[in-house]
Amino acid sequence: MTRLRSLLLLCALLAGCMSYVRAPRGERPGLGTEWGETRHSPVREVAFDRDDPASPTALATLRYDDGQGVRAMTGGAGWRDHAHPVLDGALSVRLLDGQGLPLPLVRRGGEHFVEGRAGDRYVIEIENHSATRFEAVATVDGLDVMDGERGGFAKRGYLIEPGGRLRIDGFRRSLAEVAAFRFGAVADSYAAQKGDDSNVGVIGVAFFCERGARPPWFAGEAGRRLGADPFPGRFARPAY
């Protein structure tokens, strides 16, 4: 069985700030995530066997933009909240500002939209309210936060312990440092600088549970129903 390597976050993250900046005229409007300043954020490698290496147990998606962009995506309506619940509350994901305060989040139509401000630093915070260890593989603007390349489920992630809290504060430069997440103009985003801004504005976290510790609500008939595919085919055929 393939043994995947995960990273365990070891340190508390320092706060930072930056002045508000506007995107230059004529460029794609709204926010992207820049390759920010270097921050001390040491981790170490630990062993972790996924229950299913190819398929995440759960997936969290947060879409972000400035205030005008969020209003455009939501029609100016929706429920205000602070965290995106995952796995019926077993996990939660939210974005924090440089001072550790949650950024405004709007829920509408089953999706979650976060309002940011150009120039501000942000952190992805994940909380594990369950009794199971999870590996969290995160992407920002379609890029894996570990290696800065195109995101995928096969990438390595961070380990979050039962009852634990994990804060991801940048693209990982080494086992000791990250490049901080900073909201900025789309043209200045890390994704755009790498040549593809098509996925700017979305943050994803794929959760993988540990082998032999699959959550009880994914077992038996409940698990079969939770894994049922609503669109398995194209046309109807006779049952006989």
So what's the pLDDT on residue 7?
A: 53
Q: Are strands 58-65 and 111-115 parallel, antiparallel or unpaired?
A: parallel
Handedness of CA 111, 115, 119, 125 (dihedral sign): negative
d(CA 132, CA 104): 29
Burial 218-235 (b: 16+ CB within 10 A, else e): beeeeeeeeeeeeeeeee
Other C-beta atoms lying within 10 Å of the C-beta of residue 206: 22
If you average pLDDT over residues 75-95, what whole number do you get? 83
Phi-psi bin for 10: left (phi > 0), alpha (psi -120 to 50), beta? alpha
d(CA 183, CA 2): 37
146 CB burial (10 A radius; 0-12, 13-18, 19+): buried
Is the pLDDT at 172 greater than 90? The verdict is: yes
State the pLDDT at residue 170.
97
Q: How many residues does the chain have?
A: 240
Which band of pLDDT confidence, cut at 50, 70 and 90, is reported for residue 192?
very high
- pLDDT digit string, tens, across residues 119-153: 999 999 999 999 899 999 999 999 999 999 999 99
- Whether the per-residue pLDDT at 53 is higher than 70: the answer is yes
The model's confidence at residue 97, banded by pLDDT at 50, 70 and 90, is very high
pLDDT of residue 228: 67
Separation of alpha carbons 148 and 182, rounded Å: 15
Residue 217: per-residue pLDDT: 56
**C-alpha to C-alpha distances, 166 to 8, 54, 187, nearest whole angstrom:** 9, 23, 29
Identify the residue whose tokens are 């997440």. Answer: 181
Is the pLDDT reported for residue 80 higher than 90?
Answer: no
Query: Which residues of 98-193 form beta strands (DSSP E)?
Result: 105-108, 111-115, 121-128, 134-140, 143-144, 158-160, 165-168, 170-172, 177-185
Tokens, residue 196: 């593809």
pLDDT of residue 84: 85
Q: Helix or strand or coil: residue 191?
A: helix
Which pTM was predicted?
0.80
- Rounded Cα distance between 8 and 4, Å, is 13
Q: How confident is the model at residue 203 (pLDDT cuts 50, 70, 90)?
A: very high
Q: Give the tens place of pLDDT for each residue, 1-20.
A: 445 555 554 333 333 333 33
**Domain definitions of the chain by residue range:** 4-11+27-213
* Per-residue pLDDT, 2: 46
Q: State pLDDT tens for residues 28-50.
A: 899 999 999 999 999 999 999 99
Instruction: Using the predicted structure, report yes or no on whether residue 224 has a pLDDT greater than 70.
Output: no
Band of pLDDT at residue 81, cut at 50, 70 and 90? confident
pLDDT in tens, 62-79: 999 999 999 999 988 777
